[in-house]
């Protein structure tokens, strides 16, 4: 089939938009850079709108009788039928189930119980998971639009955001991965009407879902679909006609000069033109309002594929390494949410380092000594510790910008790196949690506590780690020829403090270590490692921690 035939074929599937055709050595990749088509979320007053094709009730009821009674009260016209179901099935309300109830929209009722939520070990994720499962069941039954009913009796205290979390879970179930959409797969659920959530909350939740979906698009796509240049196309499309400016560094000489550590990682990739790196800078400047201004400076690790480099990932552990860009993906998704909410009194500046860690005759190797942007000489200890190399120079640039923009002390400032950085964090905290490693000024401002508290409420949980002197000892120079050791030779998962000491490296190489609590200008900095939380089962991207970042630093600026 000719390129022209492919153009015509795919344009008919994509609303007349002719996609880009990207030739590779072995295939033709048909791409569509447009942001994901999102499920429409609306606020409704009742479920008797028969434009919907099913009703999903998410409930935290305790037993079959309790669930039936409460759902019957909510759906009064179907109360007797629901109570009859419970009387003949003692498992009613104990697992997700679909029932035919004439009179309801589409004659479909899906009951999605949360299970226990009041024990010490329970948290808001129960609501996210139940709503997601309920929407998936309704979709499997054939419903393309659903009325969502939230029946909660425990939604207070640590569960006070249960309704919002459940809606996010419902929306999450409607996401269709980028390449699947490009192959012609369409979302099965196109509209959700939620009872009891007002239009202002709908706007916030829709923006969060949009950001999470963009993060998934970037994070989960394969290494040829999501080359650095292709990701730039996705971002350009997402942020065009928004309040976010975008600048792309792509000239090799410029990258070598301004981002020498990232250039070292990318050096081998230049032999294949489509794998060449891109460093992306996005800026949002909020209007002035009534709050003290807040300025966030974030760096995202965007390793589009990680072979390990010369220290190659052998023995089958390279699988899934296209997801090593989920840090940058999350930062991009967060910025997309910011662009939609347009919060006042908030500035956000991000740098995304999209680099491929390839292996070949021009690959960077252990023992190389490279001068960083900040003037620190770094000795490479392990080429598979490439993520910190890709982020250190962008972080140095943002440190300089933060110092320049905040000399008057008129704003609250925070710098952060977001990265799928270590296997150690997965060993330490598991696959559901994002690690926070704050420096002294960040701890003084309790920024890590803000993230942890809001993450707990919004089902995007964090665990707090500490930055210790042993972490700086780990990177200490052993010769006059270099200042900082990039890494030891072992895997992070086999290294003591394997996810903490990279924060010391990033701090020292970027110059942030000169801005501690006792400095003339302290700079709060948090290293955020989402290696565990960025992907769920089967390497499916989650978009975390877009929601946690938004809840912590944006919502109080959204009017």
pLDDT at 31: 60
DSSP code per residue over 353-393: EEEEE--STT---TT-EEE-TTS-EEE-S-TT-HHHHHHHH
Model confidence at 10: pLDDT above 60? no
Average pLDDT estimate for 326-332? 98
What pLDDT band is residue 34 in, cutting at 50, 70 and 90?
low
Contact 448, 475 (CB under 8 A): no
The CATH architecture to which 40-197 belongs is 3-Layer(aba) Sandwich (3.40)
The CA distances from residue 403 to 295, 443, 478, 513, 520, in Å, are 11, 19, 31, 13, 11
Task: Look up 313 and say whether it is catalytic.
Answer: yes
Average pLDDT estimate for 2-10? 34
Domain ranges of the chain: 1-31, 40-197, 218-557
Model confidence at 28: pLDDT above 70? no
* CA–CA dist 201, 209 (Å, integer): 12
**Of the residues 191, 250, 256, 313, which is catalytic?**
313
Contact 474, 488 (CB under 8 A): yes
Tokens encoding 397: 């640039």
* pLDDT single digits (tens) 230-250: 999 999 999 999 999 999 999
Nearest Cα neighbor of 193 from 177, 175, 206, 181 is 206
Nearest Cα neighbor of 491 from 409, 541, 399, 427 is 427
pTM over 0.95? The answer is no
**Of the residues 388, 497, 544, 557, which is catalytic?**
388
Question: SS3 for 272?
Answer: coil
What pLDDT band is residue 297 in, cutting at 50, 70 and 90?
very high
Better-scored residue on pLDDT, 74 or 28 = 74
* CA–CA dist 221, 36 (Å, integer): 13
Average pLDDT estimate for 357-383? 98
Nearest Cα neighbor of 138 from 113, 103, 185, 106 is 106
What pLDDT band is residue 24 in, cutting at 50, 70 and 90?
very low
Nearest Cα neighbor of 434 from 414, 419, 449 is 419
Average pLDDT estimate for 262-284? 98
Average pLDDT estimate for 305-313? 97
* Range scoring the smallest mean pLDDT among 84-98, 251-265, 398-412: 84-98
* pLDDT single digits (tens) 172-220: 999 999 999 999 999 999 999 999 899 999 999 999 999 999 999 999 9
Contact 107, 101 (CB under 8 A): yes
545 prior amide bond cis, ω within 30 = yes
Task: Look up 468 and say whether it is catalytic.
Answer: no
Rounded percentage of the chain residues whose pLDDT exceeds 90: 85
pLDDT at 37: 73
* CA–CA dist 286, 284 (Å, integer): 6
Model confidence at 417: pLDDT above 50? yes
CATH topology of domain 218-557: Aminopeptidase (3.40.630)
Better-scored residue on pLDDT, 343 or 94 = 343
DSSP code per residue over 382-413: -TT-HHHHHHHHHHHHHHHHHHHHTTT--EEE
């Amino acid at each position: 089939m000719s390129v022209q035939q492919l153009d015509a074929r795919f344009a008919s599937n994509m609303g007349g938009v002719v996609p880009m055709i990207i030739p590779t050595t072995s295939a033709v990749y048909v791409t569509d850079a447009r942001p994901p088509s999102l499920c429409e979320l609306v606020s409704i007053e009742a479920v008797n709108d028969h434009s919907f094709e099913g009703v999903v009730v998410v409930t935290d009821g305790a037993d079959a009788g309790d669930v039936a009674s409460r759902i019957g009260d909510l759906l009064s016209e179907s109360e007797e039928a629901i109570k009859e179901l419970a009387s003949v099935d003692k498992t009613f309300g104990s697992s997700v189930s679909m029932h035919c109830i004439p009179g309801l929209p589409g004659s479909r009722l899906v009951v999605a119980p949360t299970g226990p939520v009041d024990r010490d070990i329970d948290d808001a994720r129960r609501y996210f998971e139940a709503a997601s499962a309920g929407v998936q069941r309704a979709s499997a039954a054939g419903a393309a639009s659903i009325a969502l009913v939230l029946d909660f009796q425990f939604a207070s205290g640590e569960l006070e955001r249960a309704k919002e979390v459940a809606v996010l879970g419902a929306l999450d179930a409607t996401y269709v991965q980028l390449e699947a959409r490009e192959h012609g797969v369409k979302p099965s659920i196109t509209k959700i009407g939620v009872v009891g959530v007002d239009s202002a909350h709908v706007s916030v939740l829709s923006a969060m879902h949009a950001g999470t979906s963009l993060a998934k698009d970037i994070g989960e796509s394969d290494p040829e679909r999501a080359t650095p240049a292709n990701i730039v196309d996705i971002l350009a499309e997402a942020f065009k006609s928004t309040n976010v400016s975008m600048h792309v560094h792509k000239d090799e000489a410029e990258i070598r000069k301004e981002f020498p550590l990232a250039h070292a990682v990318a050096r081998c990739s230049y032999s294949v033109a489509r794998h060449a790196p891109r460093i992306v800078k996005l800026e949002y400047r909020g209007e002035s309002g009534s709050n003290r201004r807040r300025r966030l400076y974030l760096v995202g690790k965007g390793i589009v594929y990680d072979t390990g480099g010369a220290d190659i990932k052998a023995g089958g552990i390279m699988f899934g390494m296209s997801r090593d860009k989920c840090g940058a993906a999350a930062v991009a998704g967060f910025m997309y949410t910011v662009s939609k909410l347009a919060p006042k009194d908030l500035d956000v500046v991000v740098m995304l380092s999209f680099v491929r860690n390839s292996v070949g005759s021009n690959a960077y190797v252990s023992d190389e000594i490279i001068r960083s942007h900040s003037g620190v000489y770094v000795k490479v200890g392990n080429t598979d510790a490439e993520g910190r190399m890709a982020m250190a120079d962008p972080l140095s640039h943002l440190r300089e910008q933060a110092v320049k923009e905040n000399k008057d002390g008129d704003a609250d400032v925070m710098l952060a790196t977001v990265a799928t950085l270590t296997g150690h964090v997965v060993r330490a905290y598991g696959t559901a949690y994002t690690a926070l490693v704050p420096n002294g000024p960040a701890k003084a401002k309790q920024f890590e506590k803000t993230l942890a508290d809001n993450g707990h409420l919004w089902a995007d949980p964090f665990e707090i780690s500490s930055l210790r002197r042993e972490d700086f000892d780990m990177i200490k120079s052993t010769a006059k020829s270099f200042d900082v050791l990039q890494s030891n030779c072992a895997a992070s998962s086999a290294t003591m403090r394997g996810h903490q000491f990279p924060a010391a490296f990033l701090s020292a190489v970027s110059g942030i270590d000169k801005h501690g609590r006792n400095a003339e200008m302290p700079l709060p900095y948090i290293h955020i490692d989402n290696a565990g939380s960025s992907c769920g089962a089967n390497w499916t991207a989650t978009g975390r921690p877009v929601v946690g970042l938004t809840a912590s630093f944006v919502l109080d600026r959204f009017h």
